[in-house]
Amino acid sequence: MALLITLAFILPGIAATVAAYAQRRNVPRATVTCPVDGCGARIDMTGAAPTERSRLTALATDHSRHGGAL
């Protein structure tokens, strides 16, 4: 009986943990870096909308837009 009571409290927590892990794995992720040698610009995108991903990709790949033009 004690085992059943213990499992009743533990199993929902395990199920919630597994569900949260599955949600994190399905989130689109991408890392975009500047193609210019020596430039350390890097943008990590997690869960960004497609329009935001394209805007950030353009920002990262255009060296003059992120402080490269001095």
Query: Nearest 5 degrees, angle CA 21-CA 22-CA 27?
Result: 100
Q: Is the pLDDT of residue 5 over 70?
A: no
User: With the CA atoms of 69, 39, 41 and 27 taken in that order, what torsion angle do they form, in degrees rounded to the nearest 10?
Assistant: 140
Evaluate if pTM is beyond 0.75. Answer: no
Residue of 60 and 9 predicted with greater confidence: 60
Q: Is the pLDDT of residue 52 over 50?
A: yes
